[in-house]
Structure 1
């Protein structure tokens, strides 16, 4: 029987109290277990931290890893960034011969692909951060010459564009595996509706909307290595 230890993480106490982020993680884990896991399977432990992904000294993660090593279970996380946002930490875990890692949103990914994804995601986070800071700096400079109202508008536009890019990257974690499997845009749209994943405006999906999300996902690279950026900066 396949055994799993589930680990989830949110980044702030508010998220921990309100459940923000947890529902999505639990949904992705459930989808993996019902559609991709070997059967029969068993959950032998569940752990959750309310802590930043940049801090690798997390008590619940430490306990989860210890249980995995002790009983031979696989550590199951919804997304790689829920485990850590550092490539070095993820690489260290992958080198542990007593530890096996499974990422729900990348059910077919092997260790090499997970390592590449972690490196690409870290690079993309750094780029997005630098791009946002540069855009805000430029907007502020223009605002000094053109007035405070324009400055506020520019900042708001940058924030909206940044949010849209992160939302598209999050959706790619669900869309990309279906795209890589050769599914049509229309069938992907139907699948998203069946999973009750709403569009940004709360409506139903169309093939054109799926195409738009894929187009926002960044430069073309091999599908199996396609980076899927995290949905927050926690």
Structure 2
């Protein structure tokens, strides 16, 4: 019998009290157990944490890991970023020979693939603020070249600033995703399959949403154009 210890995390107390975020994680874990787990299976422990993903001091996760090791069970999470948003933290868990780990949204991923996705997600978050600052500087520089001050409060300048920021984010995100989407495409993965892999890694689209086949297609077109 395969034993599992499930772990779910939300970032705010409001999410914890309302169940927002928890229901989706419970759904994904249930789908994994019903569709991908060897049978028979048993859940020997279930832990819920209300903490930021950037905080490595999480008592419920520590309890879940300890129980999984003691019971020789698999630590099961819905998404990789529910463990942590720090690749160093995730890497340390993967290097522990006594701990088995599964991610519901990536049922067939091995440790190497999980490490790659974790690293990409961390780099993505680090670049968000830098991209925004660079885009705003570009707006101001363009206005100066046209010998006028940028009126960031005006509708036209707001639209221009927004478009520049979105374009910069899309271009840089596409370049940074090359190492994932290009090999998947080369191996014959469909647009939908690539989108599922990006969503499972916790990566968002430039607009902060979920990846779809069409958004993956746009990324690949940007990469081909570059």
TM-score above 0.5: yes
Does residue 28 (structure 1) correspond to residue 61 (structure 2)? The answer is no
Q: Say if 1:136 and 1:16 are closer, same or farther in 2 by CA, change over 3 A.
A: farther
Contact 2:8–2:22 at 8 Å: present in 1 too? Answer: yes
After superposition, the Cα gap between the structure-2 partners of 1:55 and 1:154, relative to the gap in structure 1 and judged at 3 Å, is: farther
Of 199, 212, 215, which aligns to 1:213? 215
Structure 1 residue 149 corresponds to structure 2 residue 151 = no
TM-score w.r.t. length of structure 2: 0.68
TM-score (norm 1): 0.66
Q: Distance in 2 between matches of 1:20 and 1:217?
A: 30
- In structure 2, the partner of 1:69 is 69
Cα displacement string for residues 115-158 of structure 1 (whole angstroms, at most 9, x for unaligned residues) = 11111221222223321333345557769523512354456667
**How far off is 1:49 after superposition?**
0.9
SS of alignment partner, residue 37 of structure 2: coil
Q: Does 1:111 align with 2:104?
A: no
C-alpha spacing 1:156/1:4, structure 2 compared with 1 (3 Å): same
State how many pairs are aligned.
186
**Structure 1 183/135 Cα, relative in aligned 2: closer, same or farther at 3 Å?**
closer
Query: 1:17-166 to 2 correspondence within 5 Å?
Result: 17-136=17-136, 138=138, 145-150=150-155, 151-153=157-159
Residues 5 and 75, structure 1, Cα contact 8 Å, conserved in 2: yes
Correspondence for 2:198: none
- Contact 2:191/2:214 (8 A) holds in 1: no
CA pair 19-5 structure 1, distance change in 2 beyond 3 A: same
Q: In the TM superposition, what is the alpha-carbon distance from 1:17 to its structure 2 partner?
A: 1.8
Runs of at least 5 residues in structure 1 that lack an aligned partner in the other structure: 167-176, 189-199, 201-208, 221-234
Counterpart contact for 1:132–1:158, Cα < 8 Å: no
Q: Which runs of 5+ in 2 are unaligned?
A: 174-183, 196-206
The residue number in structure 2 matching 1:194 is: none
